[in-house]
Structure 1
Amino acid sequence: MGMTKRAGYQGTGPGAITPDGCAVELYARLPVGTEPDIVAAAVPPGASILELGSGVGRVTHALVERGFTVTAVDESQEMLDRIRGARTICSPIEDLDLGESFDVVMLGSFLVHAADVEVRQALLRTCARHLAPGGCVLIQREGEGWHMNLPRERIDPSGFTVRVVSAEPIGDGANSVHVEYEFPDATWTQTFLSRPLTKDQFENALAEAGLTVAAYLTDDGTWVRSRLAGGEGSPLPHSS
């Protein structure tokens, strides 16, 4: 049974489209990128990871190959059907309550920029709710000025073009963002809602969920390791 499309989110192109406008076939084609390396450098080897918004397992599979135990969560069963080697759970992230805790909770794909503030708060509460003592939450943020100087495009080394076409204000600080992915044999589009966050706004959002920044993991500040405020601190990688 398909889920209801999220208001303001849509996608076009071959194959199944998820409630937030993501195309399953598109995400199955996208390269892994640097995310698994960033995660592996930030947490202890063999950590248990709750990956929120896993999609087709683009990052999941690379983490499993590195020896992590991954529980992958996504609201799209079509996405989860592509995942191998990890436990999968089909659920909206904001409603998730497994009654379990994990060494690491991952909130990637810029989900922290949800346009609906209540949804963002619920996502971060889900992160905190599933965090083991001394564990950490890894969060992916949008880059500085990501909504500005549009349109812009990038040609991936693998041969496709990703084009951020527009980010139109819809009120209350949120934008409707339109992105195109052009491959030699197919084109996909996605329209979604996103709320830009300054560093202070991001850190205040964490604080509302009982979290605090432990470290910014990348020079551009797009990956962050956080922990429970007043907790034992986030685990650090084991030295080799």
Structure 2
Amino acid sequence: MDATRREGHEGTGPGAITPDGCAVEMYARLPAGDEPEIVAAHVPAGARLLELGSGAGRLTRPLVERGFEVVAVDESPEMLTHVRGARTVCSPIERLDLGERFDAVLLASFLVNTADEALGAALLGACARHVAPDGCVLIQRENDRWHDAATVPRTWERDGLRIRMASAEHRGTDRVAVRMEYAYEGAEWSHSFVSRVLPDAEFEAELAAAGLALDAYLTDDHSWARAVPAPRG
């Protein structure tokens, strides 16, 4: 295995592939969906926002357009070359320590569901380390229906990009090996990775271990959550 590749993550297709198997050229084409609206509805207007795992700026661009001051963090320099309108920082999230606090910290793209539990704890630790005492952390999670065997395989389209969840193989009680496939204007990519099933109670316990407390679930399916710094003492 390539020393830079994360265990359980593979990617194929034209262009650079990041350590977690993401294809840079594909992510540069991936539209944002409804995520910017969810963020904007639960973060104060004009807030200073730290986006952890920004990738190629799928969410960064629409958040900047909505008037947020965004600092975009990603471990892939190839991804960050596509980001516009935001200050960029090239760093693994788990090792990030900017010495700054933000009105809001964003951990999207289901990063909290990493199969590496120690990494998951470190990601939440980075959120807690950078959120202002009166700020909030917005976290995107895989919902219970995401890996439902009855819905796999399934295909959908966004702005001409065809997205297919080709397989979701359950491994034990809390791991799912997923293969995603993408096609756009004759180019094809794939992304294979392992997710951890993270029920609400376990998620909330991991927030607490990081010094955060659940404030609210923002969507009916609990795929978005807002956390705040936990009271001390």
Does the pair score TM above 0.5?
yes
Q: Which residue of 2 aligns with 1:101?
A: 101
Q: Give 1:181's aligned residue.
A: 182
Q: Alignment partner of 1:135: what SS?
A: strand
Letter in 1 for 2:197: P
Q: Does 1:115 align with 2:118?
A: no
Q: What is the correspondence of 1:159-170 to structure 2 with a 5 Å cutoff?
A: 159-170=160-171
Q: Deviations over 1:183-231 (max 9, x none)?
A: 3411110011210111111111111111111111112211111101127
Amino acid corresponding to residue 89 of structure 1 in structure 2: V
Q: What is the aligned partner in structure 2 of residue 128 from structure 1?
A: 128
TM-score computed with the length of structure 1 as normaliser = 0.91
Contact preservation (8 Å) 1:105, 1:137: yes
**Deviation at 1:172?**
7.1
Q: How does 1:1-240 map to 2 (within 5 A)?
A: 4-149=4-149, 151-170=152-171, 173-230=174-231
Cα gap change, 1:171/1:220 in structure 2, threshold over 3 Å: closer, same or farther? closer
Taking a change above 3 Å as real, the CA distance of residues 3 and 101 of structure 1, as seen in their structure-2 partners, is farther
| Matched AA of 2:102 | F
CA contact (8 A) 2:174 2:198 kept: no
What is the CA–CA distance in structure 2 between the aligned matches of 1:151 and 1:43, rounded to whole Å? Answer: 34
Give the TM-score, by structure 2 length: 0.93
Task: After TM superposition, give the deviation of residue 82 of structure 1 in Å.
Answer: 0.6
- Give yes or no for contact 1:151–1:163 (8 Å, CA) kept in 2: no
Report deviation, 1:56. Answer: 0.5
Structure 2 spans left out of the alignment, 5+ residues = none
The whole-number CA distance in structure 1 between the counterparts of 2:174 and 2:40 is 34
CA distance in 1, matches of 2:94, 2:161: 32
Q: SS of 1:62's equivalent?
A: helix
Distance 2:58 2:121 in 1: 26
Unaligned runs of 5+ in 1: 232-240
CA RMSD of aligned residues (A): 1.7
Deviation track 1:59-107 (CA, whole Å, cap 9, x = no partner) reads 1011111111000000000000111110000001011111110000000
The alignment of Structure 1 onto Structure 2 pairs a total of residues equal to 230
Structure 1 residue runs of 4 or more that deviate by more than 6 Å after TM superposition:
none
Q: Which amino acid aligns with 2:45?
A: P
Tell me the SS of whatever aligns to 2:226: strand
C-alpha distance in 2, partners of 1:18/1:71? 20
The structure-2 alpha-carbon separation of the partners of 1:172 and 1:143, relative to structure 1 and needing over 3 Å to count, comes to closer
**Alpha-carbon distance between aligned partners in 2 of 1:26 and 1:91, rounded to the nearest angstrom:** 21
Deviation at 1:141, TM superposition (A): 0.5
**How much identity, in percent, do the aligned residues show?**
58
Q: Is the 8 A contact 1:153 1:161 kept in 2?
A: no
